[in-house]
């Protein structure tokens, strides 16, 4: 082999760097930046559904439990920095439906939360999706009510 054949060919390092940055690094930054809000909002929705269902199942009556669940859910959402439009209850009820708070029923709470689909650091989110979670809490079969 001659010396001419062994020398590397000249390239455009600046252009290759820009293309590599745009096609590899920036999409990874967007994905990593999106994971934290997804996880935080899913955790918040699960926490609201679990705590609201438990609060209802342990309440003295349905109205008091509903008021307590709403206060608790609003506090949890505020702690995560969400407005009322970013989350909401889908279902607060019993199974079988319409039974109210009596022994042996299941209290069902379903919550939805708005999650940014893609977050670009420094710019914000581009799209949003609604994510639902549901929790069922059983009212003790041997519980006594006041």
pLDDT by residue for the chain (146 residues), tens digit each? 555 565 566 666 777 788 877 788 777 877 777 788 889 999 999 999 999 999 999 999 999 999 999 999 999 999 999 998 999 999 999 998 888 899 999 999 999 999 988 777 777 778 899 999 999 999 999 988 87
In a domain, 4, yes or no: no
Range of the domain at 70: 13-138
* Kind plus residue range of the DSSP H or E element containing 78: helix 62-79
- Give strand pairing partners of 114: 130
Domain total of the chain: 1
**Contact between residue 69 and residue 55 where contact means Cβ atoms under 8 Å apart:** yes
Distance in angstroms (rounded) separating the CA atoms of residues 10 and 38: 44
pLDDT of residue 64: 94
In a domain, 18, yes or no: yes
In a domain, 146, yes or no: no
Distance in angstroms (rounded) separating the CA atoms of residues 20 and 23: 5
In a domain, 111, yes or no: yes
In a domain, 105, yes or no: yes
Cis amide bond preceding 37, omega within 30: no
pLDDT of residue 87: 95
pTM over 0.85: no
In a domain, 41, yes or no: yes
In a domain, 70, yes or no: yes
In a domain, 5, yes or no: no
């Amino acid at each position: 082999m001659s010396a001419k054949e062994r020398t590397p060919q000249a390239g455009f390092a600046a252009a290759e760097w820009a293309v590599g940055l745009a096609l590899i690094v920036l999409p990874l930054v967007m994905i990593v930046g999106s994971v934290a809000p997804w996880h935080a909002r899913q955790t918040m929705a699960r926490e609201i559904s679990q705590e609201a269902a438990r609060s209802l199942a342990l309440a003295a009556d349905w109205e008091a439990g509903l008021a307590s669940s709403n206060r608790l859910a609003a506090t949890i959402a505020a702690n995560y920095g969400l407005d009322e439009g970013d989350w909401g209850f889908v279902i607060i009820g019993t199974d079988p439906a319409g039974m109210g708070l009596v022994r042996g029923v299941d209290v069902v709470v379903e919550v939805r939360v708005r999650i940014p689909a893609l977050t670009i650091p420094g710019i914000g989110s581009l799209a949003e999706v609604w994510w639902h979670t549901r929790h069922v809490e059983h009212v003790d079969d041997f519980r006594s009510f006041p």
